[in-house]
Chain A
Amino acid sequence: MSDAILEVRHLSKSFGKNEVLRDIDFDVHPGDVTSIIGASGSGKSTLLRCINLLETPTSGDVLFHGESVIGGKVNPNKYRAKVGMVFQSFNLFDNMSVLKNCVVGQMKVLKRSKEEAEANAMKYLERVGMAPYIKAKPRQISGGMKQRVAIARALAMDPEILLFDEPTSALDPEMVGEVLQVMRGLAADGMTMLVVTHEMAFARDVSANVVFMKDGVIWEQGEPARLFSAPERQETRDFLARFMER
């Protein structure tokens, strides 16, 4: 059955006595966009960080192409090179130019030549509309621009799946659009994406599957058309109602 690129199985995570994630279970299929929605503090970001092994899950498993990435069988660095991550706070390398940000990983991790890496980086920088700014340092450009560079940096590694951790939450409202536009373009091209977001319109329009989380637990998941129009759980209804009020 498993044509899933990523399978999360009974994943739990505790920080000391504080249980942040409990028995999380879902799949991501190739070419699909999966959105994770839920209130702040519901464990969405921690889930993404567990999937990318920035945090070690307390129990449960994460399977990449059916193979467990937890427990030392898979080299975490090689796995991360195939799983791109875009952070809420961009995390661009402050000591490097825009172009260098998109080149360094390709050269150091994928061992590509400088020419090949730069050509590939330029392809994606043009795609996110940042090609004119390749000489700028991260501190010299706006938040929306930084996030577009961060997306290009992740894409330049030619990942099989991209994880987005609230990519627009740290942006001024007028910059949210430019980043979402890039993400919609990627989705249209069939990029596999797992997106933690508060942008309900984006989740509704683009996702194949929407996961609703509350207090570290998945309450409901399904196609966006159904989940947004006829949620089964009271918790989902409450969350969506509060969101629509704003």
Chain B
Amino acid sequence: MDSFSALITDIGDLLAVYWKTYLTGMGSTLLLAVVATAIGCVIGLICGILNTIPYAPGDTSAKKFFLKLVRAVIRIYVEVFRGTPMVLQAVFIYYGVPYVTNNAMRFDSVWAAAILIVSINTGAYMAESVRGGIISIDPGQTEGAKAIGMNHFQTMTSVILPQAIRNIMPQIGNNFIINVKDTSVMFIITFTEFFAVHRNIVGLNYMYFPSATIEMIGYLAVTLTASFLLRWVERRMDGKSSYELVQTDNLTMAAGTYSHPDRGTPFDERSGEFGATGEERKRIKLGLKNRNGSARGER
């Protein structure tokens, strides 16, 4: 118990001095993760659209060659950036670009470099997620769109991707949460985010454990909030489970697939005793209880 109260005191001391530094670090982490995940999603969607352009036997060989080339380039991109550590990609790109271009091109802002690196890394994963999402959609949806004359781009943006994105929402959430944590490797190019803040602070005062505790709680708070928000977004995307009839005549009431206006009122035949008022229902319930020892619905 002593060590616990000591920890609380230490955390208090740390926060008293460095709370602003921690917050700024968390802000950088969040901003980088949000921006890079968003850009990564866009990259993934573009790769998905390009990857699925169909070619018919009647097409010219130039078009076929071009499409094959596009697919090959995307494949190489995915394999390279999925298959190497992001920390290494950061070094490779941040120091490689000025090296190769003889300093004609270099990153003036470490932010630009960090966003670029995390984005293309996320994009490589998202490209595969999007591909999976597109495969999961019934081919009939594509045929339905083609049959009314939509081109590939219209089919993708209006019909396929909205459904595919709904299906890969959990994957997008995964990638976002991974990015919140893995942006910590950007310290290698001197990007100061939440974890780099910890390194800087403990370098001064050696309070490793209290600072790490703050970091743990900080990361968890962000990722849990993200999970919660993502679930909410998913529910929003699914829409309402019922729909309203646009009433034109009374006969449509008999159609069946319809949420009855009496739902939840004593007049609703599904709720307990049909036709009973509140007072009567209590009585009926009591009667059942006395007879059977338990009321209906109380199991």
Contact = CB atoms under 8 A, between A and B. Distances in A.
A104 B158 contact: yes
B141 A94 contact: yes
Contacts, number: 96
A77 B151 contact: yes
A77 B243 contact: no
A80 B148 contact: yes
Contacts of A133: 243, 245-246
Contacts of A90: 140, 144
Contact of B148 (A56, A81, A136, A142): A81
A54 B147 contact: yes
Given A91-B144, A93-B144, A56 B57 contact: yes
B243 A108 contact: no
A157 B148 contact: yes
Contacts of A87: 140, 143-144, 147
Contact of B149 (A71, A72, A134, A157): A157
B58 A71 contact: yes
Q: How large is the interface on B (under 10, 10 to 19, 20 to 34, 35 or more residues)?
A: 20 to 34
A210 interface: no
A173 B212 CA distance: 67
A84 B257 CA distance: 28
A153 B148 contact: yes
Contacts of A52: 147
B103 interface: no
Interface in B134-153: 138, 140-141, 143-151
Contact of B246 (A54, A78, A132): A132
Given A89-B140, A140-B243, A154 B148 contact: yes
A131 interface: yes
Interface string B38-57: 00000000000000000011
Nearest to B245: A132
A105 B149 contact: yes
A72 B59 CA distance: 8
Among B58, B147, B246, find the residue whose CB has the most chain A CB atoms closer than 10 A. Answer: B147
5 contacts: A72-B58, A85-B147, A95-B159, A104-B158, A104-B159
Interface of B: 56-58, 138, 140-141, 143-151, 154, 158-159, 162-163, 166, 239, 242-248, 252, 255, 257
Interface of A: 52, 54, 56, 70-72, 77-82, 84-85, 87, 89-95, 97, 104-105, 108-109, 131-137, 140-142, 150, 153-154, 157
Given A56-B56, A77-B150, 12 more contacts: A70-B58, A71-B58, A79-B149, A80-B147, A80-B149, A85-B148, A91-B143, A95-B159, A109-B150, A132-B247, A133-B246, A136-B243
